[in-house]
Amino acid sequence: MRIVAGAAEARRTLLRRAPLDEPDLPAAVRETIRRVFGADLDAGAVVERILWDVRREGEAAVRRYNEQLDGVSPAGSELPLLVSPAEIRTAYSQVEPSLVGALRTAASRIRDYHERQLAHSARSFEEDGLGQIVTPLRRVGLYIPGNTVVYPSTLLMMAVPARVAGVKEVVVATPVAPDGSVSPLKLVAADIAGVGRVFRAGGVQGIAALAYGAGPVPKVDKICGPGNIFVTLAKKRLYGEVGIDGIFGPSETVVVADAAADPELVAADLLAGAEHDELATAILITDSPELAQAVQAALERDVDSLARAGVARASLDARGGAVVVESIAEAAELAGEFAPEHLCLHVQDVDRLLEEGLSAGCLFAGAYSVESIGDYTAGPSHVMPTGGSAAYASPLGVQDFLKVTSLVRLDRRMAEEIGPAAAAIARAEGFTGHARAIESRIKGRAR
């Protein structure tokens, strides 16, 4: 882990963000693209081809790409896209009862948090002829990535807030195993969260099926969920035709710690952040050179004990590090400027930093506010803005599944009071039809 001194050097090195460009594709992926499409296409061109085919051919294209790109066997690709209720019932017998209990605990806490969030979210109102009507989205599609590595927690973190918001129909698209089966963990989590239907549709074809509709897969109003570069580009391309939750990059963890922080706990949080992905960011910002050195030693000692040691070490080597600055105030300023997904505050005076209005997807206030608990059972959704977008974007929550419709209900008195000014502006803009529509309703019906 590198240690750099000063804010200027930190901005030039560890805290310098690279644009989220299309990466160089691995050789195996490029070979698959050549085999399937008969040409050397970049990721964007692959996405365009698949979107076009699913829009034109529907279910047949989804099945074909499940087989050609995701390695589903011919027999597996012939299974119905819709996972049956019997498969979901069977899934419970394939998951340890203790893990089912853990998923129920997580779902309960996520539900409780988002019910409280709903109580503080936008509400319908009408006052003096003006107001708004807040309604849930009609149908939402969730994309849940992973097959060998699965993420039931991410399913809960999206589906439960959607159901709390009042979305009547929540559906899931997900990759499947070569035999066409869906991970039992995903199916159990979907059932616990109140998901209506689960479909065998991975990758871009799954995103396209949700956006356009394909056979039994319904067209949705909004697509939520993370994925690889192909899924990310597909969501970006489809925005406007369908709503999306955001464009997500690799995970980010920043720890702000003072001299009193426990280096073992700081290192543990950085390792948890680094093991997400080789492209993940895990950075300490502190006013204590001694703490930085102690954390560096703890990371070196502990990283190889992780199940995902190779991933964590690659992340720390490429994007990890520590920044030593003059004060905790300066550390907080740097962290807020970086606007990370996760910001952990290992400081004595946490309340003072919380008053600074720091930009982050989630603030973990104090050493016992473990980011890893936030990933699973704290309550707030762990689907959060990355890439600096926490400076203007919010974590996924009930607000993502609500829409506001403005309401105007004027009586004659109000129309006569505010109409003349509106008509004057309309005529100044050259919209005489607008002006006449107003004037036909007010006193004298001027022409």
CB 24 within 8 A of CB 343: no
pLDDT at 23: 73
Does the pLDDT of residue 232 top 50, yes or no?
A: yes
Distance from C-alpha of 413 to C-alpha of 27, rounded to nearest angstrom: 71
Task: Give this prediction's pTM.
Answer: 0.93
Which residue in this structure is represented by tokens 């597996």? 76
Q: For CATH 3.40.50.1980, list the domain ranges present in the chain.
A: 2-20+249-378, 22-248+397-409
Distance from C-alpha of 234 to C-alpha of 208, rounded to nearest angstrom: 8
pLDDT in tens, 44-54: 999 999 999 99
pLDDT at 396: 97
Cα 247 vs. chain centroid, distance in angstroms? Answer: 7
Q: What is the DSSP letter of 242?
A: B
Residue type, 232: T
Residues assigned a catalytic role: 341-342
Distance from C-alpha of 228 to C-alpha of 127, rounded to nearest angstrom: 46
CB 381 within 8 A of CB 158: yes
Average pLDDT (144-155) is 90
pLDDT at 21: 67
CB neighbours of residue 258 within 10 Å? 17
Distance from C-alpha of 415 to C-alpha of 240, rounded to nearest angstrom: 34
Please report, to the nearest 10 degrees, the dihedral formed by the alpha carbons of residues 401, 402, 403, 405 taken in order.
160
Domain 2-20+249-378 has CATH 3.40.190.10: no
Q: Please, what's the b/e burial string for 259-282 (b: 16 or more CB within 10 A of its CB; e: otherwise)?
A: eebebebbbbbbbbbbbbbbebbb
Greater confidence (122 vs 39) lies with: 39
Which residue in this structure is represented by tokens 């970006």? 236
Q: Are strands 342-346 and 321-324 parallel, antiparallel or unpaired?
A: unpaired
Greater confidence (299 vs 279) lies with: 299
CATH of domain 22-248+397-409: 3.40.50.1980
Mean pLDDT of the chain: 95
Distance from C-alpha of 441 to C-alpha of 77, rounded to nearest angstrom: 62
Burial of 301 (0-12, 13-18, 19+ CB in 10 A): exposed
Distance from C-alpha of 69 to C-alpha of 222, rounded to nearest angstrom: 25
Distance from C-alpha of 202 to C-alpha of 323, rounded to nearest angstrom: 40
SS3 67: helix
SS3 280: coil
Please report which confidence band the pLDDT of residue 398 belongs to, taking 50, 70 and 90 as the band edges. Answer: very high
